[in-house]
Amino acid sequence: MAFKRPKIALIGGGQIGGVLAQLSALRELGDVALFDIVEDMPQGKTLDIAEASRVDGFDVELKGTNTYEGIKGADIIIVTAGLPRKPGMSRDDLLTTNANIIKSVAEGIKEYAPDSYVIVISNPLDAMVTLMQKYTGFPANRVMGQAGVLDSSRFSSFIAWELGVSVKDVNAMVLGGHGDTMVPLVRYANVNGCPVMEQLVKKYGDEAKAKEVMDAMVERTKKAGGEVVGLLKTGSAFYSPASSAIAMAESIIKDQKRVLPTCAYLEGQYGVDGYYVGVPVVLGANGVERIIEVDLDEEEQKAMDVSVNAVKNLVADMGKLGF
């Protein structure tokens, strides 16, 4: 039997999709199929990236496609298809539009890549992952969402900038849903094992001031997506969401078993049963291989419960809309 490169299908060739294609090539993760409903655009983007292969030194094939046939046999799929909110559009209008898109994407994936692993980025994230699993009918370990890796990277960056240390030494995690109710885990945040709060108290010589600084970083993390939107004026963050999903895909393709915060299906863990919520998981050759449970104190569990309720409401809203 001949060896075969992994095949990565990217559904949605917009801002994030384009960066995903380039990062997949730069890291030689596998051959890339970029799908979009806009004619010629994914073909143009992949041709552009492929023409840099000599300069960047990668040996993978990149193809653009407007039909699901083009994703045939994909091993791993990253989904960014969807529409952003337009002026005058209600939240329910957006939910209905994107839910219909995800439903059609799920049907395409089910038919042409029935053995694939699927990472969803499209918003509202927790709802779209739920639908992807429902309409593909794939086992939950093969369907997950990207949010926590990015939220945690943002939180870690703010901590590194505040303490003047390498971000490589910062470990900070964000759990819960992908929205205002996300839960940055302050108590567990550390710089190579040294608790961040302790370092802040040492820096400011004052517990109240240290808490104030941490609270500001937590707030900035929760609103980080909006901060970027406000600066870009059109569109939302795309470099960092792409990098985050690539880290997840790489851990699965290379069976790295990295522990990454992932929107995963919970069956009793963290007191949640039957919902997709952001928690640390082991990502390896079998997708979501294990959910890691960390002990939460009363305040953290309360914040998690609020976040989980927001996810439940979103899923209930989708049910009312017929999904």
Residues recognised as catalytic: 178
Look up residue 260 and give its two tokens.
Answer: 């990454």
Of the candidates 241, 264, 232, the residue with the CA atom closest to the CA atom of residue 118? 264
Of the candidates 112, 106, 46, the residue with the CA atom closest to the CA atom of residue 74? 112
Applying CB under 6 A, the residues found at the interface with ligand APR are 11-17, 36-38, 80-84, 101, 104-105, 121-123, 235-236, 238, 241
Name the minimum Å distance from CB 6 to ligand APR: 21
Answer yes or no: are the C-beta atoms of 172 and 185 closer than 8 Å: yes
Of 124 and 176, nearer to ligand APR (C-beta) is: 124
Count how many residues are written for the chain. 323
What is the identity of the amino acid at 35? Answer: F
Name the minimum Å distance from CB 186 to ligand APR: 25
Using CA of residue 132, residue 251, residue 270, residue 159, what is the dihedral sign? negative
Answer yes or no: are the C-beta atoms of 222 and 251 closer than 8 Å: no
Residues 6+ apart with CB under 8 A from 224: 151, 154, 237
